[in-house]
Every structure is written in structure tokens, then in C-alpha cells.
Amino acid sequence: MQDHRKLLNEYDSKSTVFIQHEWGQNKFALYNLVAKAWNKIGFGVKIVITSYKHLGIKTAVSFLNNKGITCSIVGKGLENLRLVECEKTSEGKLPLIESVINIEFNFRGKHYRADVSDAVFSKTALDKGTRLLLKFFFEKIGALNNTKIGDFGAGWGAISIILATEFPKSEIVAYEKDEASFEASRKNLKSYANVSVLNIDLTKIDSLVFVNGRGKFDYIISNPPFHSTPKNKELIFENAFNLLRPSGQLFFVAENSFAPRFRKVAKNFFALKEEKKDDLYTVFWYHKT
């Protein structure tokens, strides 16, 4: 199996479609991503998938092959990254797999229900990391009505749903780059008048969304992608810094094994106020100086 960086440099961008298989994305969600790309491209065009889902990528590739999409794992990289290559070998259209997955959870005495569908993360409940993050956030921050809050990496919308319910007079913007997660988030948040949902990559530092929104938020709260590259972590924090007003505050959570990497990047932009750690996760509280 070859080094993924060498292989990536060999692909012709004009005849290759690149897809990122997000952590937590099941085989059905990956199939839908590939099928959507397949239905748009011509015969012979390649679809290249990068995946950190080391323990699940073989199952996902077998599923794609069984659905008539010829794929194989061709490369590997750091942190269990795998590179998968698929090639369009027929002109037929592929049907999408429709799914509705409803979950229910409680937080701060309130009951919530959401459709997580093909979202890439936390498919069965409010995950422990997000729960710890929100609990710490509510302990440290009081009334949030009449404030502006950014939800960085909204997923299916858990953080924004809870904040919008607790603080209906706040203004919340949820950012999510994964299309399936964005659709789930938009569906779950459509009834909340104080929430906007944007389909955007948090690493796109030159996006007008970020350029025009400088100094917008009082708070940013995030359960970020743990497997992001050092450069992408830096860009995410840079966008957070730019979007926060002076003295604005950032809360985020990371698995303990990833915490040192996030801490190393975050200190380049923010001043640490406090950390809270349990057996699995660390919550960080920073402010903009």
C-alpha cells in the first residue's frame, strides 16, 4: 500500500473527484456521498476518498462494491488515514439510500428529539463530549439572551438546539461543512427563528462569510473534528479569533488523546481561562485578548 501523499499528487484534478469520509460517517452515508458524485461525473472519472475511519473503511468499501461501485483501498497515511479509489465503470445512475434516524435525549431537565439521518457524528444520543462541553459552558456563563453565539462544526445541530431552546433571544449561527450533517442540522433547526445554519468549511479563511463577520460573536462553542490536520486546526482557530469580538470567549472539547494538539494551536490565538477534564474528554475555555 502506497503513501497517500504520493498518490494524491499523481491524480489529475480534472478527472478526479475528492471526497472526505468523516469520522462517525457510516457506510450508508458514504455510499450516498459517492452516489451523488457518481451521478454527476462521466465514464472513467475517478472518485478518491480519504478516510480516518480505519476500523470501518474495509466494511464501507465492501458495501460500495456490493452496490456496484468498484473501489479499493490503495494508500495509507498518518493517524490511520486510508485512501480509497473508485472508478466510474458504467453510465447508469445510482439510487440514494433514504434514511431517517430519530434520537431522543434529555439535558437540563428538557427533552429533545432530533433526526440525525446521515450526519457524521453522534448517531445514537447526545454524545458524552458535547454533554460535558455544554455542562461546563452553562456553569461558567449565565444568561445568554441578547448575545451572539457561533456553533463551530454543528453536526446535526445538538449544541444549537439546546442553546436556542434555553436562550430564545440569543442569535446563533451554526456552521457545518459536511453536506449530510448540514442537511440534518438545517432540518432540526428550521423551527428556531434565532438560528441560522450555514454549509461552509471552517478552514476557508478567505470566505466572505468569515471576512464580513469579523467581531460578530460574543461566544463560540465547538466540538471540533479531532482528526483535522495541524494546518486545519490553525485555520479553524484563526476563523474563531476573527469572528469573536474583543474579549470574546471560546469553549471547545477534545478527546484527551487529542487535547495536547488542540492546546498547542489554541494558545497561538487565545489566552486560557480554564480547563476541565474527565476520563475521556477535556473542555477548554479561552478568551480573546
Q: What is the mean pLDDT of the chain?
A: 89
pLDDT score at 55:
66
Confidence at 197, pLDDT banded by 50, 70, 90: very high
Residue 178 pLDDT more than 90? no
Three-state secondary structure call for residue 119: coil
Confidence at 268, pLDDT banded by 50, 70, 90: very high
Residue 42 pLDDT more than 70? yes
Percent of the chain whose pLDDT exceeds 90: 60
State mean pLDDT over 50-69.
Answer: 85
For 125-175, the pLDDT digits (tens) are: 899 999 999 999 999 998 889 999 999 999 999 999 999 999 999 999 999
Confidence at 121, pLDDT banded by 50, 70, 90: low
pLDDT score at 162:
97
CB 285 within 8 A of CB 275: yes
pLDDT score at 24:
61
Alpha helices in the chain (DSSP H): 4-10, 27-38, 57-66, 128-140, 158-166, 179-189, 208-211, 230-243, 259-266
Q: List where CATH 3.40.50.150 sits in the chain.
A: 2-87, 118-287
pLDDT score at 27:
81
Rounded (10°) angle between helices 230-243 and 259-266: 50
CATH class for the region spanning 2-87: alpha beta
In which element (H, E) is residue 21 found? strand 16-21
pLDDT score at 194:
96
Complete DSSP assignment for 82-112 = EEEEEE----PPPPP-----EEEEEETTEEE
For 203-237, the pLDDT digits (tens) are: 998 888 888 888 999 999 999 988 778 899 999 99
Whether the model clears a pTM of 0.85, i.e. scores above it, the answer is: no
Residue 119 pLDDT more than 70? no
Tell me if the domain spanning 118-287 has CATH number 3.40.50.150: yes
Confidence at 11, pLDDT banded by 50, 70, 90: confident
The more confident residue out of 143 and 118 is 143
